[in-house]
Amino acid sequence: MSAVLISVAELQELLDTAGSRVRLLDVRWLLGDPDGPQHYLDGHIPGAVFVDLETELADPPSAAKGRHPLPDLAHLQKCARSWGVSDGDTVVAYDANGGMAAARAWWLLRWGGVADVRILDGGLPAWEKAGGKIVSGEEPDPEPGTVVLTPGHMPTVDADGAGGWQGLLLDARAGERYRGEVEPIDPRAGHIPGAVSAPTAENLTDTGHFKPIEELRARFAGLGSGPVAVYCGSGVTAAHQIAALATVGIDATLYPGSWSQWSNDPKRPAATGTEPA
């Protein structure tokens, strides 16, 4: 598969041949489900460490920065070392929701300069369906890693840049939130004027695998042209959109603050309906 994704079969082969240099990250997280740690204890891939998206993959939320601001680099490096990550390791992140949370770990580690980070295509359900071993309970603490992170290896844009984006700005949230029909989390409904609706869920098949490359290529080609930037509610599922774009060779920019930051600033306009403007 692409350098973004790894299949269950490829992961099993990698673990069999280079297991000591593979770091498995269990990033189970869903909005409204605080029980990721318990899900991990109930069953995970052997050797995986649990990664807490709220505290390890994000700084504390604020109106000024959004619900999941990018974490401080020193904090991210400390966490990555606690997961056992060293320079030269292959890191594989997974969840149980089509990679929606795992992609946040993928994006952040790539942003920090880790060269080989993959998302397990199909996640834990695909692993289990293929007969992969599952263990429960705590894992021994991994040997601390020595990875050195440096920022800026993946592009970002701030609110001003997103508002004036010259190219294709994709809104990765569900269509009803883009249209402004509902807004269950953030202060205002709608979307950034000029943004095109591109729900992240449409990157996936019914089994939670990424769609074939040709289908994804056709999907993104039909949305518009020019340099691509992506936002969502808080910068989490937008990383999944960027991963899907990367599988077809399109480099995209993340607006980390996303709608949770934009909608908290009353000076910034909000559009509603099906049209970008």
Give 269's Cβ-side CA count (13 Å radius).
9
| Residues 123 and 29 both lie in one domain | yes
- The total number of structural domains in the chain stands at 2
* Average pLDDT across the chain, whole number: 96
Taking 90 as the threshold, does the pLDDT of residue 157 lie above it?
Answer: yes
Could you tell me the residue range of the domain that residue 11 belongs to? Answer: 5-129
In a domain, residue 268? The reply is no
Is residue 50 within a helix (H) or strand (E), and if so which, with residue range? strand 49-50
| Residues 208 and 112 both lie in one domain | no
In a domain, residue 141? The reply is no
Taking 50 as the threshold, does the pLDDT of residue 121 lie above it?
Answer: yes
| Residues 22 and 118 both lie in one domain | yes
In a domain, residue 145? The reply is no
Taking 80 as the threshold, does the pLDDT of residue 1 lie above it?
Answer: no
Q: What number is the average pLDDT over the span 237-262?
A: 98
In a domain, residue 9? The reply is yes
pTM check: above 0.85: yes
pLDDT in the model for residue 174 = 97
Is residue 22 within a helix (H) or strand (E), and if so which, with residue range? strand 22-26
Residue 201 corresponds to which tokens in the numbers above?
A: 């869920």
Say whether 232 is catalytic: yes
| Residue % of the chain over a pLDDT of 90 | 94
In a domain, residue 137? The reply is no
Are the beta carbons of 167 and 253 closer than 8 angstroms?
Answer: no
| Residues 167 and 113 both lie in one domain | no
More confident residue, 244 or 276: 244
| Residues 18 and 69 both lie in one domain | yes
pLDDT interval class at 2 (50, 70, 90):
low
| Residues 91 and 175 both lie in one domain | no
Question: Could you give the CA distance from residue 47 to residue 35 in angstroms, rounded to a whole number?
Answer: 20
Boundary of a domain, candidates 79, 113, 129: 129
10's torsion region: left (phi>0), alpha (psi -120 to 50) or beta? alpha
Does residue 219 sit in helix, strand or coil? helix
The 10s digit of each residue's pLDDT in 124-134 is 999 999 999 99
Q: What number is the average pLDDT over the span 127-144?
A: 96
Question: Could you give the CA distance from residue 209 to residue 37 in angstroms, rounded to a whole number?
Answer: 23
Q: What number is the average pLDDT over the span 129-152?
A: 96
Taking 80 as the threshold, does the pLDDT of residue 19 lie above it?
Answer: no
Q: What is the CATH number of the domain that holds 116?
A: 3.40.250.10
| Residue % of the chain over a pLDDT of 70 | 99
Q: How far is CA 183 from the centre of its chain?
A: 21
| Residues 186 and 88 both lie in one domain | no
CB atoms within 10 A of CB 267: 4
Q: Which amino acid is at 225?
A: S
The 10s digit of each residue's pLDDT in 25-41 is 999 998 878 889 999 99
The 10s digit of each residue's pLDDT in 183-227 is 999 999 999 999 999 999 999 999 999 999 999 999 999 999 999
In a domain, residue 277? The reply is no
Residue 184 corresponds to which tokens in the numbers above?
A: 């269950």
Give the active site residue among 92, 126, 228, 232.
Answer: 232
3-state SS of 98-166 is CCCCHHHHHHHHHHCCCCCEEEECCHHHHHHHCCCCCECCCCCCCCCCCCCCCCCCCCECCHHHHHCCC
